[in-house]
């Protein structure tokens, strides 16, 4: 280093006129190295240590703003701004500033034809001696007002850590008042050094967030695993209740819903919601995507990605920053937001491959403008784990429903076999055919359950009374197989022509579960089990009554679907999806379940 300084002094034209001797030049070089350079290096080291000591517990924006502050102070500049490149929109997003009000700058600008874009593309610093003469600096009016005339732009990066997560690139733009300023190489090098040291702090920040992310993921998996291990099986509405409080650090939730998308990609259905019974949509649980513009954007990508005044459209999420003003809101969403103090709505698609089959909607009291990658990753992980567990719950429901057709097949097959032992088969032929028809029908039903567990067939018009009579007949066989000979079966008035529009398979499941629960509730000493159906206004109604009472405190839980039994959960979901109503009441010695479902309007 000494020889380098000495060579510089020998060739310096200013010193040449003083005719310094070799000894004098060497002495001067030694003095500069010993006193001036050491002081300069010490100052740079202090600045670097100041940057490295920035707490990684601050937000990303606060870290970068603190870096900008220290760079401005060390380089005796006037102000600094930070812009981050968003590859999805090919634009630069404002990400903090020091002595340069963010509201006075463009929130986002195209990467092309910009100073920051040049720096990001080249990976090298860029000097602008005179901003007013720089063709790629477009927002000249703002710098005129501040009196800024020159700038130094240095690259900065936020480490991505994973192969599929590249580094996030950006710039720190450092402003000066001098026009036609000459930037010393040491200034540029120091600014670049401080920007690179900022990456160290950001790396620590990223590691801390990944640790926190993994802890929260483990909590989610653990709680779902605990629920799965319970003998009564998993009920996702319970998991929702357990897990939503874990997400409070990310988003203050007024309510949350998990939706599934129909195979025709035209409708969505609420699968789960927190808290239960939210009136987020006044048309019921199934509704058309075309009536909800924000869903159309999320599912069909009808709007270009970008950060807009009232919306942020990202490949990982859709954020409605102000549901009362956003053009993507409809009247229904505005009404709900106004009533429940919802200030932003976050939608997260849950993809299987490249297709969105489920999505989460968070109705938040926060007025959020953006979410970090880690926040979205955790919420997506939460949704995907819930989605997996929901499939397990549905499988448990299916296995639960194997019992009734299995009992019917066994019972009617035994009867048919006994009748085949009769000497005169012509006399019992019709009975054998009836029994075998039931065996075939229930066997086909079980086959469909096994092969297509997630498919309930096609909706069609059915006669509620005829289906009720058929399932009552199947339940009668189940009672005989259980040898409950002290149960008296009664068919009260059954009105014909109670047509409803539904999935027949789902209706059969509901009736089987209601009848099975009623049978189990009858005391060991015996009692009655009866059914009836009738019309009430524009509703088709049926009642199932059994001997035996349930505790009064359990009745309200049943009405709300807040029950442990898997069968009652199946019943509640179906009735809710049909926009129907469930009522339960008792008298001196019996319990009655009353179900009301809208009649088919034709």
CATH classification of the domain holding 297: 3.30.450.40
Residues 15, 17: Cα–Cα separation, whole Å = 6
Residue 250 and residue 322 in one domain: yes
The per-residue pLDDT for range 289-307, each reduced to its tens digit, is 888 899 999 988 888 888 8
Residues 416, 551: Cα–Cα separation, whole Å = 42
The answer to whether residues 105 and 319 touch, using CB atoms and an 8 Å cutoff, is no
Per-position DSSP letters for 95-122, written without gaps between them = EEEESS-GGGS-SEEESTTSHHHHHHHH
Which two tokens mark 78?
């006037």
Q: Which of 353, 382, 411 lies at the terminal end of a domain, its last residue?
A: 382
User: For 52-66, 124-138, 374-388, which range has the lowest pLDDT when averaged over its residues?
Assistant: 374-388
Average pLDDT over residues 448-464: 68
Q: 2-16, 364-378, 453-467: which has the highest mean pLDDT?
A: 364-378
Classify residue 267: in a domain, yes or no. Answer: yes
Does residue 364 carry a pLDDT above 80? Answer: yes
Residues 6+ apart with CB under 8 A from 597: 464, 500, 502, 539, 540, 541, 575, 578, 580
Q: How confident is the model at residue 285 (pLDDT cuts 50, 70, 90)?
A: low
**Domain extent for 577:** 458-598
H helix runs in 147-229, sequence order = 185-229
Q: State the pLDDT at residue 45.
A: 80
Q: Give me the half-sphere count of Cα atoms (radius 13 Å) on the Cβ side of residue 514.
A: 29
Classify residue 219: in a domain, yes or no. Answer: no
Q: State the pLDDT at residue 107.
A: 57
Residue 201 and residue 300 in one domain: no
The answer to whether residues 55 and 90 touch, using CB atoms and an 8 Å cutoff, is no
Q: Give me the half-sphere count of Cα atoms (radius 13 Å) on the Cβ side of residue 267.
A: 11
Q: 39-53, 90-104, 123-137, 215-229: which has the highest mean pLDDT?
A: 123-137
Q: State the pLDDT at residue 351.
A: 78
| Element containing residue 601 per DSSP (H, E) | none
Q: Please classify residue 310 by burial: count the beta carbons closer than 10 Å to its beta carbon, then call 0-12 exposed, 13-18 middle and 19+ buried.
A: middle
Classify residue 106: in a domain, yes or no. Answer: yes
Q: State the pLDDT at residue 170.
A: 87
Average pLDDT over residues 520-549: 92
The answer to whether residues 50 and 201 touch, using CB atoms and an 8 Å cutoff, is no
User: For 209-213, 317-321, 497-501, which range has the lowest pLDDT when averaged over its residues?
Assistant: 209-213
Average pLDDT over residues 550-577: 68
Q: State the pLDDT at residue 562.
A: 60
The per-residue pLDDT for range 217-234, each reduced to its tens digit, is 777 666 666 655 554 455
Classify residue 222: in a domain, yes or no. Answer: no
Q: Which of 207, 222, 249 lies at the terminal end of a domain, its last residue?
A: 207
Q: How confident is the model at residue 103 (pLDDT cuts 50, 70, 90)?
A: very low
Q: 263-277, 361-375, 440-454, 485-499: which has the highest mean pLDDT?
A: 485-499
Q: Which of 458, 464, 469 is nearest to 599 (CA)?
A: 464
Residue 355 and residue 411 in one domain: no
Question: In the structure, how many helices (H) and strands (E) does the chain have?
Answer: 18, 21
Looking at every residue in the chain, the average pLDDT score rounds to 80
Residue 451 and residue 468 in one domain: no
Q: To which residue do tokens 């919601």 refer?
A: 273
Structural domains in the chain (count): 4
Residue 525 and residue 560 in one domain: yes
Residue 117 and residue 51 in one domain: yes
What region does 591 belong to: left with phi over 0, alpha with psi -120 to 50, or beta?
beta
Q: Which of 112, 94, 113 is nearest to 104 (CA)?
A: 94
User: For 226-240, 384-398, 578-592, which range has the lowest pLDDT when averaged over its residues?
Assistant: 226-240
Residues 101, 175: Cα–Cα separation, whole Å = 13
Residue 302 and residue 315 in one domain: yes
Of residues 283 and 422, the one with the higher pLDDT is 422
| Element containing residue 16 per DSSP (H, E) | helix 13-16
Does residue 4 carry a pLDDT above 70? Answer: yes
Average pLDDT over residues 465-485: 86
Q: State the pLDDT at residue 530.
A: 95
DSSP state, residue 165: B
| Residue-wise burial string across 134-154, b where 16 or more C-beta atoms lie within 10 A, e elsewhere | beebeeeeebeeeebbbbbbb
Which two tokens mark 209?
């967030």
Q: How confident is the model at residue 453 (pLDDT cuts 50, 70, 90)?
A: low
Q: State the pLDDT at residue 396.
A: 65
Q: How crowded is residue 177: how many other Cβ atoms within 10 Å of its Cβ?
A: 13
Residue 592 and residue 565 in one domain: yes
Q: To which residue do tokens 């102070």 refer?
A: 73
The per-residue pLDDT for range 171-208, each reduced to its tens digit, is 999 999 999 998 988 889 888 888 888 888 888 887 88
Does residue 531 carry a pLDDT above 90? Answer: yes
Q: State the pLDDT at residue 397.
A: 64
Residue 264 and residue 318 in one domain: yes
Of residues 337 and 226, the one with the higher pLDDT is 337
- Helix (H, G, I), strand (E, B), or coil: what is residue 453? coil
Classify residue 22: in a domain, yes or no. Answer: yes
Q: State the pLDDT at residue 105.
A: 46
Q: How confident is the model at residue 401 (pLDDT cuts 50, 70, 90)?
A: low
Residue 352 and residue 466 in one domain: no
Of residues 7 and 137, the one with the higher pLDDT is 137
Instruction: Provide the terminal-to-terminal Cα distance of the chain, rounded to the nearest Å.
Output: 94
Of residues 486 and 219, the one with the higher pLDDT is 486
Classify residue 440: in a domain, yes or no. Answer: yes
Residue 78 and residue 175 in one domain: yes
Classify residue 388: in a domain, yes or no. Answer: no
Of residues 361 and 459, the one with the higher pLDDT is 361
Classify residue 387: in a domain, yes or no. Answer: no
- CATH assignment at residue 486: 3.30.565.10
| Element containing residue 266 per DSSP (H, E) | none
Residue 12 and residue 81 in one domain: yes
What region does 58 belong to: left with phi over 0, alpha with psi -120 to 50, or beta?
beta
């Amino acid at each position: 280093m000494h020889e380098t300084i000495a060579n510089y002094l020998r060739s310096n034209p200013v010193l040449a006129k003083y005719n310094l001797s070799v000894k004098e030049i060497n002495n001067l070089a030694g003095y500069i190295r010993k006193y001036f350079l050491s002081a300069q290096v010490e100052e740079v080291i202090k600045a670097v240590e100041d940057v490295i000591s920035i707490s990684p517990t601050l937000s990303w924006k606060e870290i970068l703003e603190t870096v900008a502050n220290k760079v401005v102070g060390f380089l005796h500049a006037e102000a600094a701004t930070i812009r981050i490149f968003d590859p999805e929109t090919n634009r630069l997003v404002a990400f903090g500033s020091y002595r340069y009000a963010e509201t006075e700058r463009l929130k986002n600008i195209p990467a092309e034809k910009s100073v920051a874009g040049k720096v990001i593309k080249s990976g090298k610093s860029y000097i602008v001696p005179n901003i007013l003469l720089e063709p790629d600096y477009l927002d000249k009016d703002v710098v005129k007002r501040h009196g800024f005339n020159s700038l130094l732009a240095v690259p900065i990066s936020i480490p991505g850590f994973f192969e599929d997560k590249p580094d996030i690139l950006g710039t720190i733009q450092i402003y000066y008042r001098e026009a036609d300023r000459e930037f010393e190489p040491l200034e540029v090098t120091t600014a670049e050094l401080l920007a690179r040291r900022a990456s160290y702090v950001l790396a620590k920040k990223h590691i801390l967030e990944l640790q926190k992310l993994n802890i929260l993921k483990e909590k989610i998996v653990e709680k779902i695993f605990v629920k799965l291990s319970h003998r009564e099986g998993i009920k996702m509405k319970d998991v929702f209740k357990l897990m939503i409080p874990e997400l409070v650090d990310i988003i203050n939730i007024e309510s949350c819903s998990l939706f599934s998308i129909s195979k025709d990609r035209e409708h969505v259905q609420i699968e789960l919601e927190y808290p239960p019974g939210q009136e987020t949509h006044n048309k019921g649980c199934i509704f058309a995507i075309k009536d909800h513009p924000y869903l159309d954007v999320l599912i069909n990508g009808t709007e270009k990605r970008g950060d807009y005044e009232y919306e942020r459209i990202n490949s990982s999420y859709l954020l409605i920053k102000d549901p009362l003003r956003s053009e993507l809101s409809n009247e229904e969403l505005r009404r709900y937001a106004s009533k429940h103090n919802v200030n932003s709505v976050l939608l997260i698609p849950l993809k299987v491959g490249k297709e969105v089959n489920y999505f989460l909607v968070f109705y938040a009291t926060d007025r959020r403008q953006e979410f970090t990658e880690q926040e979205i990753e955790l919420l997506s992980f939460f949704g995907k784990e819930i989605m997996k567990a929901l499939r397990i719950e549905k499988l448990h429901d299916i296995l639960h429903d194997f019992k009734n057709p299995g009992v019917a097949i066994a019972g009617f097959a035994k009867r048919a076999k006994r009748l085949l032992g009769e000497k005169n088969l012509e006399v019992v032929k019709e009975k054998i055919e009836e029994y075998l028809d039931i065996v075939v029908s229930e066997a086909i039903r079980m086959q469909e359950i096994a092969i297509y567990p997630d498919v309930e067939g096609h909706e069609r018009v059915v006669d509620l009374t005829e289906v009720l009579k058929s399932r009552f007949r199947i339940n009668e066989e189940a009672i005989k197989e259980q040898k409950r000979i002290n149960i008296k079966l009664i068919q009260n008035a059954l009105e014909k022509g109670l047509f409803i529009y539904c999935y027949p398979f789902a209706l059969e499941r509901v009736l089987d579960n209601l009848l099975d629960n009623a049978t189990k509730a009858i005391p060991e000493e015996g009692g009655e089990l009866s059914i009836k159906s009738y019309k009430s206004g524009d509703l088709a109604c049926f009642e199932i009554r059994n001997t035996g009472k349930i505790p009064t405190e359990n009745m309200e839980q049943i009405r709300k679907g807040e029950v442990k039994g898997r069968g009652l959960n199946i019943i509640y979901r179906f009735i809710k999806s049909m926009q129907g109503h469930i009522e339960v009441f008792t008298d001196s010695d019996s319990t009655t379940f009353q179900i009301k479902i809208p009649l088919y309007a034709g």
